[in-house]
Structure 1
Amino acid sequence: MRAPKSRSYWIAVAVILVVYGVFSLLPIAYLIVSSFKTQQQIYAGIGSTFWFSPTLDSYRFIFETKPMLHMLTNTLIVSVGSTVFSLVFGTLAAYGLARFSFRGRDDLAFYILSVRMFPPIVAALPIFMIFKTMALLDTKLGLIIAYTSFNLPFVVWMMTGFIKAVPVQLEEAAMIDGQTQLGAIRDILLPVLRPSIIAVAIFCIIFSWNEFLFALILTKAKAKTLPVAIPEFITWTEVGWNYVAAAGMVLVMPVLLFSILAQKYMVRGMSMGAIKD
């Protein structure tokens, strides 16, 4: 039996967590504060970091000069669309890898995962040429396909482990009772995997929501997303840090709130299968 942890141990753990929390939240706090400042207040020095007169001029400016709502809608459609496609196809592929034994299964699983290993910039030129030929440039469908190609290996990798953690006897019992294999997946497996699916979906949405490279290369105006709009406030003459901060808040807050609301599903989903009988 392990000896109980000493008081000094828990004090050290608390101090480490507090320091980590401060360093983690400080950039977000500074982003929030800067979005309510003017350019002059940002350059005023350390004394005006938290003592200033807040203003909404930066938010007013970015919405008046840029189609922020249109780009926010594009970001939402592309993120949700790529996540749905990745979950549907990725979960089915993961089920095949987890439940069926066939020649080359491990090699296939590695090949799928290897797509996520190389830098996205390597595939940028081939994807651009293919999309140009197929008239998919500057379209939301093109971005959804591009994001799905990189989300899919992650979904297959994660869901394979989660499916393996669910006893196959549950599905076999359902099929003995007259259920088809697809019916057993729908009625037995998917309800058990719901927290894990939500957790994986959160990661996919975050990746798609924040993705910059393909959004920059594959879009021009119609399908432009928010991450591409933020660098446009950086010009040759000056950097509009207050506008960058305001646009950054518009980009960060929706996915941050979504992650907070879905936090319990993320913890439950990612811990699934961690405890073995």
Structure 2
Amino acid sequence: MKPKKSASILLSLLTVIVLVIFVFPFVWMLLASFKTQAQIMSTSQTFIFQPTASNYVNVFQQYDFLKYILNSMIVAVGSTILSLALGLPAAYAIAKYKLQGFGLVILVARIVPGISFLIPWYILFSQMHLVDSFTSLILSHMLVGLPFIVWIMISFFEALPHEVEESALIDGCTPHGVFRRIVLPMSGAGIVTSSLLSFIFSWNNFMFSIILAGDKTKTLPIAVFNFMSYAEINWGALMAAACIITLPVLVIALIAQRYVVDGLAAGAVKG
């Protein structure tokens, strides 16, 4: 019993240490968002200070963050929905008909660094007059979101029992009907998982947005630059903006946590 108890205590201690390492930056960011610039720079006011909401007021009044939130939401939701519309049928076809070659192409598109597509994307969208448009941002974000959804859903579709699909076909259901009425409802956890991860990528994406976004379509990660100048960095407003960027993803992740765990577990087991 003693070795087991010691191992349990050690495991708990390591868990606490890892948790503190990962949680502390977020706690510091949250506390700093309620501090003035002087309080942030003062080591004596790390945890004990007079809080202020002026940073959040400035973020929404002075920097018009509601516009950037709306822009990010349009791009993230748009890219996720289009990626699902194309990725789910593609993943189902690859899983059902064993199209390993096509799956390899998807994998290569996922592995290639996104930065290698920046110049071709910019030239293409410039020629089409789509720079500083939601169309260019949504399509560029799909470059990562679509392969991601496909690869998550391939393993998930392969784990579904084929007997259910065969029974539906025998009962007169068409292949498209089987996909819409049988496969998709049974794949709810996997769809939620892939959608959430694709949304998070698009919501936090900086690389594509800094090249293709403009004044009309500027997203939240790009808007953070407003708090940085040659003379100084407005740390309070920057931390408030970071909290605003993190909050929607955190809320969605907490709500969908059970589905994410079920989706990843189901997609990892092939039946």
Give the TM-score taking structure 2 as reference length. Answer: 0.96
The structure with the greater share of residues assigned to helix is 2
Report percent identity of matched pairs.
37
The one of 153, 161, 176 aligned to 1:167:
161
The one of 96, 101, 124 aligned to 1:99:
96
Aligned to 2:13: 15
Cα offsets for 1:19-74 (capped at 9, x unmatched) = 111111111101100000010101112x2111000001111112222121011001
Q: Please state if 1:263 is matched with 2:257.
A: yes
Q: Please state if 1:90 is matched with 2:67.
A: no
Aligned to 1:52: 49
Residues 116, 44 of structure 1: alpha-carbon distance in 2 compared, 3 angstrom cutoff: same
The structural deviation recorded for 1:275 is 4.8
Aligned to 2:207: 213
Aligned equivalents of 2:268, 2:121: Cα separation in 1: 38
Query: Are the equivalent residues in 1 in contact too, given 2:59–2:237 (CA < 8 A)?
Result: yes
The structural deviation recorded for 1:274 is 4.0
2:187 is paired with a residue whose SS is helix
1:179 is paired with a residue whose SS is coil
The one of 233, 237, 244 aligned to 1:239:
233
The one of 123, 135, 140 aligned to 1:129:
123
2:115 is paired with a residue whose SS is helix
Aligned equivalents of 2:9, 2:261: Cα separation in 1: 25
Aligned to 1:33: 31
Aligned equivalents of 1:10, 1:275: Cα separation in 2: 29
The structural deviation recorded for 1:232 is 2.1
Deviates more, 1:110-119 or 1:247-256: 110-119
Give the TM-score taking structure 1 as reference length. Answer: 0.94
Aligned to 1:254: 248
Cα offsets for 1:154-211 (capped at 9, x unmatched) = 1111111110011222111111011111111112111111011101111001000000
The structural deviation recorded for 1:273 is 4.5
The structural deviation recorded for 1:118 is 2.0
The structural deviation recorded for 1:107 is 2.5
Q: CA RMSD in A?
A: 1.5
Aligned equivalents of 2:109, 2:267: Cα separation in 1: 25
Count the aligned residue pairs: 270
Aligned equivalents of 2:164, 2:194: Cα separation in 1: 23
Aligned equivalents of 2:71, 2:62: Cα separation in 1: 17
The structural deviation recorded for 1:86 is 0.8
The one of 58, 78, 87 aligned to 2:75:
78
1:137 is paired with a residue whose SS is coil
Aligned to 1:138: 132
Q: Which runs of 5+ in 1 are unaligned?
A: none
Aligned equivalents of 1:256, 1:195: Cα separation in 2: 18
Q: Please state if 1:272 is matched with 2:270.
A: no
Aligned equivalents of 2:65, 2:149: Cα separation in 1: 30
Aligned to 2:113: 119
1:116 is paired with a residue whose SS is helix
Matched letter for residue 35 of structure 1: S
Cα offsets for 1:90-135 (capped at 9, x unmatched) = 111111111014xxx3222111111121221111111011111112
Matched letter for residue 43 of structure 1: M
The one of 104, 109, 130 aligned to 1:110:
104
